[in-house]
Amino acid sequence: MQLPEFTDLESAQEWVREMCFGFPRICGELMFVIARIYKEDWNDMQTANCCARKAIELFDLCLMNTLLECAALFTTVLGKALPSYIHQDFVRHHFPNA
């Protein structure tokens, strides 16, 4: 699946709300990026932690037992680079208050 071209954060969040049940892995990565935007660009830790919690919930729905299962599906989203491997504990590490 290819992500649509998001023009703004709101369109990305709306896409996640619509797609999260069918594609939890993709949406987990996108919610992590949205959390980073709130944290790094807007210094809004409350919303960032909320988005990080949602990313963790979505990753919890996925198998994360092997390196292949933890490999990021995307390299960059909304101008933010993703790590090579991402899973719920990675998100917890970067958002300890989530």
How far is it, in rounded angstroms, from Cα 46 to Cα 25? 23
How far is it, in rounded angstroms, from Cα 61 to Cα 56? 9
Structure tokens at 15: 């896409």
pLDDT digits (tens, 9 = 90+) for 66-85: 999 999 999 999 899 999 99
Q: Please, are residues 47 and 29 in contact by the beta-carbon 8 Å criterion?
A: no
Residues 6 or more apart whose CB falls under 8 angstroms from that of 86 comprise 28, 29, 32, 59, 70, 72
| pTM for this model (two decimals) | 0.86
The pLDDT, as a whole number, for residue 85 is: 98
